[in-house]
């Protein structure tokens, strides 16, 4: 069952703005990355998922996983073992998101290549903060952002 926030968006959305529903469900610092990583693995434990996603803080990852579970995109299985074992996997609804994530990754690669070409054509020599996009990012990538973002992880592979 979707969260109240998502229920509200669904109840009020117009057919002209269906993207609001998508953003309400998939919006979040790590949700697309988590879904993409889970899409490449059948099942993952928290630590494995955290490492594969690029080390989001445990608190942030826990919150994103809870929201994805509430929205029916992932399932969480807790085993009665010592120490406790918790596994995450995509649901059918989560697997249905994979083509969208692949398209987003393709768009991101194309966008980064375009920006890099534009930057190479720019003879101003403007530098920037590259922490969000990896070492080979365009010089102005990430300027003005205060968060660490998803980094240079490729969502589609």
What's 80's domain CATH number?
Answer: 1.10.10.10
Determine the Cα–Cα distance for residues 72 and 2; give it in Å rounded to an integer.
7
**Which of residues 45, 75, 93 is at a domain's end?**
93
Residue 70: what pLDDT? 93
20 and 56 share one domain:
yes
* Residue that is written with structure tokens 């003005």 in the block: 144
114 and 141 share one domain:
yes
Residue 22: what pLDDT? 86
Residue 111: what pLDDT? 95
Number of domains in the chain: 2
41 and 112 share one domain:
no
132 and 80 share one domain:
no
9 and 84 share one domain:
yes
Residue 140: what pLDDT? 40
**What pTM was estimated for this model as a whole?**
0.68
Determine the Cα–Cα distance for residues 39 and 91; give it in Å rounded to an integer.
10
59 and 129 share one domain:
no
Pairing of strands 85-90, 74-79: antiparallel
Residue 28: what pLDDT? 86
88 and 101 share one domain:
no
CB 136 within 8 A of CB 154: no
Where in the sequence is the domain holding 39, given as residue range(s)?
A: 4-93
Residue 89: what pLDDT? 98
DSSP 130-145: -TTT-TTS-TTTTTT-
89 and 101 share one domain:
no
60 and 125 share one domain:
no
Residue 122: what pLDDT? 74
85 and 15 share one domain:
yes
70 and 139 share one domain:
no
Tens-level pLDDT at each residue, the chain (157 residues): 456 556 655 666 666 577 788 888 898 889 999 999 999 999 999 999 999 999 999 999 999 999 999 999 999 999 999 988 999 999 999 999 999 999 999 999 999 999 998 888 775 555 554 444 444 444 444 433 334 444 445 554 4
């Amino acid at each position: 069952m979707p969260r109240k926030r998502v229920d509200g968006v669904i109840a009020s959305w117009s057919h002209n703005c269906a993207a609001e529903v998508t953003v309400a469900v998939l919006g979040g610092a790590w949700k697309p990355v988590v879904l993409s990583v889970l899409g490449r693995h059948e099942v993952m434990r928290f630590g494995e998922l955290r490492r594969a996603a690029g080390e989001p803080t445990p608190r942030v990852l826990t919150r994103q996983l809870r929201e994805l579970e509430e929205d029916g995109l992932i399932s969480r299985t807790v085993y009665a073992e010592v120490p406790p074992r918790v596994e995450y996997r995509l649901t059918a609804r989560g697997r249905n998101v994979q083509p969208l994530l692949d398209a987003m990754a393709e768009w991101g690669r194309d966008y980064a290549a375009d920006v890099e070409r534009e930057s190479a054509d720019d003879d101003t020599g403007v530098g920037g903060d590259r922490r969000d996009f990896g070492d080979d990012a365009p010089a102005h990538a990430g300027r003005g952002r205060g968060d660490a973002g998803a980094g240079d992880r490729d969502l589609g592979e």
